[in-house]
C-alpha cells in the first residue's frame, strides 16, 4: 500500500482544525450522528440511512446563493465511477475514490492532508466498476474496504495502517465496495461477487484489533461462527434449495447494511441467487416440502449485532429469476401515525414498508411503470407472478425463450440511496424506467468464472426519459411528484430541514429541488457525471454541501442500448464543496 502525507498537515496532526485535540469517536457519537450537523461519521448521515439533515440555514429562498467553496481532484489516471459518500470529522473530510483509494482533505481550503492507495493485486473481479462507496469512523480510526475483498483500518490523523484483514478470496470472485457499518465497537461488513457463484456473508470484527467476532452466511445450509467456533446453521438444509446448489448460492451482501438502535437490529439486504437461471435452482420437482424460494437470497435480514443470529427475514422476490437482488437499503423511520417502520425500494420495482419489530410485511406498491414480471404483491408480501414473463427454461437448447421484462436487471432502483424527510414524511427515490430482453442459458459452476446462465439487453421504455426522482408517501405508495431526467439516475439523494432535495445526474448537473413540489431551485454543472452521494454539514456558522463528481458505475458497463445513449459522458474525479456565505444566508 502507498500512503502520502503532505508537509502542510503538521498542525492538523497535533490539533483538530475545529480547535483542540482529535477526540476518539464513540458509540454515542455514532448514535447521534444524524443530529450533529458539524460532522458526518456514518454512511447515510446516520445509521438509519435517512440521509436527512436538520440544518435549515440553507433553504428554498436562499439556495440560489449557494456557491463553490473549493474543489479537490482525485487525480491521476484512476478515474472511473465515483460513488462515494464523504465523511466529516474535526475539520477534515474523508473521501474514498475508485481503485480503493482514501483521501483526507482540509475542509477549510480543500488541500490534501494524506492519501492512502491500496496495492491491488492482478486478477481482481469487480462486477460493476472499480468503485468504492465510502468509509466509517470510530475511535481514532477510519475504516474502508478494498476491491480485493479486504477491510482496512487507518489512523485518522496520519493515514497509517492499523490493521488490514481479508474478508474473502478475490480469486473466487469476491470483492468489497460498500461502506462498513460500526455498531458497539464492531466493524460489520458484507461482500460482493454475486455474479461468480460466491456465498453472501455478514462479518463482524473487533474495531480495535480487526479480529473476527462472528460470521453469518446468508444462504441456507452454511454454518455461522461466533468467537472462532461454529454457532448455528443458516436456515434449514435443502428447505428451499435443491441438491448441492446452496453451496454456490449467491446472495452477496454487497451494499452493506443499516442499524436500528430502537430494536438493536442490523438490517442487511442480500443479492441474487446463483445462477440467474431460476429453472436450474428449482430443477425438476424439488424434494418434498422444498418451496424453491432459495432462501435467504433476494431478502432483507434482521440480524443480532452481538451474535450474528438471524432474527427475521423478508424475501422480496422468492425464486428470483431476473437479477433483481434484494440488497437495496432499508431505512428506519416513524410514519405519520407514529408507527415504527422500515422502508425499502426494491430493484423489482416495488416500494415496501415493513414493521421494525419483526420485519413483518405492512404494504407494497409499484414505484416504476409497466412492471411485467408480477401482477402485484399479495397480503403476505409475496409477489403475484406472471409466469409467462419468467425467462424460459433452456432444457437442451442453446437458450430458453426470451421475454421482455420491466424493470431491467439494473432495477427500478439500484444501489443509489434514497432519502427520507422528517419534515414532509416523504421518501425521495432515485428510480429508472427501463426494461430488458432476457433469456436463460445452460451454465455450470466454475470457481472464479461468471455464473449467470442468462443473457440480456437493456432498453428504455420511454423516449423522453429514463431517470425519475420520485417523492413517495410511504403510508399509501402515492407518488407526490416526479422529476424526470433523460439519462439514468445512478447517484444518491439527500434532503434537509430547509426544504431541499439534493441529487446529481449523469449529465453532470448537481441539483436542488423543492421537497414539496419537485421544482428545480438551483443547479451547478460539475463537468462529469454524478454517481456519488451528497452530504451537508456546518462549519464556522456556515452551511456547506459536498458532492463527488465522476461518471462510471454499472450503466456504461452493463447498460446495453441505454449505455449507447450515455457513452459521450466524460469520466472525472472531483470533490465539489459549496457553501452559503453568511452575508447571503438572509438574502431572498
- Write the DSSP symbol of residue 458: E
Task: Give me 462's grid cell.
Answer: 420511454
| Alpha carbon distance 216, 582 (integer Å) | 49
Per DSSP, the residues of 53-95 read: E---SS-TTTGGG-EEEEEEE--SS--S------EEETTEEEE
379 has binding-site annotation: no
Closest CA to 313 of 363, 359, 271, 382: 359
Closest CA relative to residue 562, chosen from 463, 417, 418, 416? 463
- Does 133 appear as a known binding residue? yes
382 is in an annotated binding site: no
Chain centroid to Cα 307, Å, comes to: 24
From the candidates 39, 129, 155, 323, which is the catalytic residue?
Answer: 323
With CA atoms as reference, report the closest residue to 149 among 16, 252, 44.
252
Bridge pairing between strands 427-432 and 383-385: unpaired
> 59 labelled as ligand-binding?
no
Active site residue 323: yes
Question: What whole-number distance in Å separates Cα of residue 30 and Cα of residue 9?
Answer: 26
* Cis status, amide bond into 489, omega within 30 of 0: no
CA distance 254 to 276: 16
User: What does the alpha-carbon distance between residue 360 and residue 306 come to, in Å, rounded to a whole number?
Assistant: 22
Judge whether 281 is annotated as a binding position.
no
The reply to whether 415 sits in an annotated binding site is yes
Rounded Cα gap, residues 220 and 512, in angstroms: 44
Check whether 83 is labelled as a binding-site residue. Answer: yes
Is 299 in contact with 270 (CB distance < 8 Å)?
yes
d(CA 360, CA 349): 19
**How far apart are alpha carbons 414 and 256 in whole angstroms?**
13
Q: Is the preceding peptide bond at 490 cis, omega within 30 degrees of 0?
A: no
Annotated ligand binding at 195? The verdict is yes
* Residues sharing a CB contact under 8 Å with residue 225, sequence separation 6 or more, in sequence order: 212, 214, 215, 231, 308
8 A C-beta contact, residue 485 and residue 479? no
Report the distance separating Cα 503 and Cα 492, nearest Å.
6
Q: What residues are designated binding site for pyrroloquinoline quinone?
A: 83, 133, 177, 414-415
Q: Tell me the binding residues.
A: 83, 133, 177, 195, 272, 323, 414-415
The residues assigned a catalytic role are: 323
Q: Which residues are annotated as a binding site for Ca(2+)?
A: 195, 272, 323
Amino acid at each position: 500500500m502507498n500512503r502520502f502525507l503532505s508537509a502542510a498537515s503538521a498542525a492538523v496532526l497535533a490539533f483538530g482544525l475545529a480547535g483542540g485535540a482529535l477526540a476518539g469517536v464513540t458509540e454515542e457519537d455514532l448514535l447521534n450522528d444524524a443530529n450533529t450537523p458539524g460532522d458526518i461519521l456514518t454512511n447515510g448521515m446516520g445509521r438509519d440511512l435517512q440521509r436527512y439533515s436538520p440544518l435549515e440555514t440553507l433553504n428554498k429562498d436562499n439556495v440560489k446563493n449557494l456557491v463553490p467553496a473549493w474543489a479537490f481532484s482525485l487525480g491521476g489516471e484512476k478515474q472511473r465511477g465515483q460513488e462515494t459518500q464523504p465523511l466529516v470529522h474535526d475539520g477534515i473530510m474523508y473521501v474514498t475514490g475508485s481503485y480503493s483509494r482514501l483521501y483526507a482533505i482540509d475542509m477549510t481550503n480543500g488541500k490534501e492532508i494524506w492519501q492512502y492507495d491500496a496495492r491491488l493485486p492482478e486478477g481482481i473481479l469487480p462486477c460493476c466498476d472499480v468503485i468504492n462507496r465510502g468509509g466509517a469512523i470510530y475511535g481514532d480510526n477510519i475504516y474502508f474496504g478494498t476491491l480485493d475483498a479486504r477491510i482496512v483500518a487507518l489512523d485518522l490523523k496520519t493515514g497509517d495502517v492499523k490493521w488490514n484483514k481479508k474478508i474473502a478470496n478475490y480469486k473466487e470472485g469476491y470483492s468489497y465496495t460498500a461502506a462498513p457499518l460500526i455498531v458497539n465497537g464492531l466493524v460489520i461488513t458484507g461482500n460482493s461477487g454475486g455474479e461468480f457463484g460466491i456465498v453472501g456473508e455478514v462479518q463482524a470484527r473487533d474495531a480495535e484489533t480487526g479480529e473476527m467476532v462472528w460470521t453469518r452466511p446468508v444462504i441456507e445450509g452454511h454454518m455461522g461462527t461466533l468467537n472462532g467456533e461454529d454457532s448455528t446453521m443458516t436456515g434449514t438444509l435443502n428447505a428451499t434449495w435443491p441438491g448441492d446448489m446452496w453451496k454456490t448460492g449467491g446472495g452477496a451482501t454487497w451494499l452493506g447494511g443499516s442499524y436500528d438502535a430502537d430494536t438493536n437490529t442490523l438490517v442487511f439486504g442480500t443479492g441474487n441467487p446463483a445462477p440467474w437461471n431460476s429453472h436450474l435452482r428449482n430443477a425438476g420437482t424439488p424434494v418434498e416440502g422444498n418451496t424453491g424460494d432459495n432462501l435467504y437470497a433476494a431478502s432483507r435480514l434482521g440480524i443480532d449485532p452481538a451474535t450474528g443470529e438471524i432474527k427475521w427475514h423478508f424475501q422480496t422476490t422468492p425464486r428470483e429469476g431476473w437479477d433483481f437482488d434484494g440488497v437495496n437499503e432499508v431505512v428506519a423511520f416513524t410514519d405519520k401515525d407514529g408507527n415504527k417502520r422500515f422502508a425499502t425500494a426494491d430493484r423489482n420495482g416495488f416500494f415496501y414498508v415493513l414493521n421494525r419489530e419483526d420485519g413483518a410485511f405492512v404494504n407494497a406498491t409499484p414505484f416504476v411503470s409497466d412492471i411485467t414480471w408480477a401482477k402485484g404483491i399479495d397480503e403476505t408480501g409475496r409477489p403475484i407472478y406472471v409466469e409467462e414473463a419468467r425467462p424460459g427454461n433452456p432444457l437442451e437448447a442453446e437458450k430458453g425463450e426470451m421475454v421482455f421484462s420491466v424493470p431491467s436487471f439494473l432495477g427500478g432502483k439500484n444501489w443509489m440511496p434514497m432519502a427520507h424527510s422528517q419534515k414532509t414524511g416523504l421518501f425521495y427515490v432515485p428510480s429508472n424506467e427501463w426494461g430488458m430482453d432476457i433469456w436463460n442459458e445452460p451454465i455450470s459452476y466454475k470457481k472464479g468464472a461468471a455464473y449467470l446462465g442468462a443473457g440480456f439487453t437493456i432498453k428504455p421504455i420511454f423516449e423522453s426519459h429514463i431517470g425519475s426522482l420520485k417523492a413517495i408517501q410511504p403510508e399509501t405508495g402515492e407518488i407526490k411528484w416526479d422529476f424526470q431526467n433523460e439519462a439514468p439516475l445512478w447517484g444518491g439523494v439527500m434532503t434537509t430541514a430547509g426544504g431541499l432535495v439534493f441529487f446529481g445526474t449523469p449529465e453532470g448537473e448537481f441539483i436542488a429541488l423543492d421537497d414539496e413540489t419537485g421544482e428545480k431551485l438551483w443547479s451547478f454543472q460539475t463537468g462529469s457525471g454524478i454517481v456519488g452521494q451528497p452530504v451537508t454539514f456546518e462549519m464556522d456558522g456556515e452551511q456547506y454541501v459536498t458532492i463527488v463528481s465522476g461518471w462510471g458505475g454499472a450503466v456504461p458497463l452493463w447498460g446495453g442500448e441505454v449505455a449507447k445513449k450515455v457513452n459521450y459522458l466524460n469520466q472525472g474525479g472531483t470533490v465539489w464543496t459549496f457553501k452559503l456565505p453568511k452575508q447571503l444566508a438572509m438574502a431572498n
